[in-house]
Amino acid sequence: MTAQKRIGIYPGSFDPPTNGHLDIVQRATGLFDEVIVGVGVNLAKKTMFSGDERVALMREAVSALGNVRVEPFDGLQVDFARKHAARFIIRGIRALSDFEFEFEMANMNRTLAPEIEMVFLMTSPEYLFLSASRVKELHAFGADVSKYVPAPVQKRLGKIPPRRGQRTGAMEGNE
């Protein structure tokens, strides 16, 4: 049997990357030969950070990990997976509400690309209540978010004055 490289993509908006996301990336690196983090750059949802910024922040955050790459993507998760010859799509699950959304998405993906397997990693308990939205909210109100985000994100947020954190004015692009 020829060994096929096990490639998994981890798609998301990562607006901004949090320690919860990084925990999933780190754990995924132990399961796959290569993990490709897909940063959705043309999302319907309005983001605080531009696509380029989110890619750059994620790249910095995972720079110490050997088998991880970060690439922008625009479109369907399954198309991104196929483009990179990935047979797995990795997602993190925190709560029942995540499950419902992911279940629906997984079934959609299965219909579109039956050869691709969805892999769900349960959040580590310390990140159960951590979300990118919560980080932005805390920052907007002047709270210290250093224990929730990687250093490059903390540094970037430090340049945005509290209470303006929720605005897109400090960012470039049309998101």
> Which of positions 62-81 make contact with ligand ADP (CB under 6 A)?
none
94, 110, 134, 156: residue in contact with ligand ADP (rule CB under 6 A): 94
Q: Which stretch binds ligand ADP (CB under 6 A): 29-37, 88-96, 110-118, 156-164?
A: 88-96
CB 55, CB 72: distance < 8 Å: yes
8, 38, 51, 92: residue in contact with ligand ADP (rule CB under 6 A): 92
| Residue 14 found at the interface with ligand ADP (CB under 6 A) | yes
| Residue 88 found at the interface with ligand ADP (CB under 6 A) | no
Nearer residue to ligand ADP within complex by CB, 54 or 87: 54
Token pair 């400090």 is found at: 170
Q: Among candidates 60, 54, 24, which has minimal Cα distance to 39?
A: 54
Q: Among candidates 38, 36, 21, 40, which has minimal Cα distance to 121?
A: 21
7, 9, 21, 51: residue in contact with ligand ADP (rule CB under 6 A): 21
Binding residues for ligand ADP, rule CB under 6 A, total: 16
Quote the radius of gyration of the chain (alpha carbons, Å): 16
Q: Residues 104-117, buried b or exposed e (16+ Cβ, 10 A)?
A: eebeebeeebeebb
| Residue 136 found at the interface with ligand ADP (CB under 6 A) | no
| Residue 123 found at the interface with ligand ADP (CB under 6 A) | yes
| Residue 22 found at the interface with ligand ADP (CB under 6 A) | no
∠ CA 102-108-109, nearest 5°, is: 85
Token pair 């030969």 is found at: 33
Residue ranges binding ligand ADP (CB under 6 A): 12-14, 20-21, 24, 91-94, 98, 123, 127, 130-132
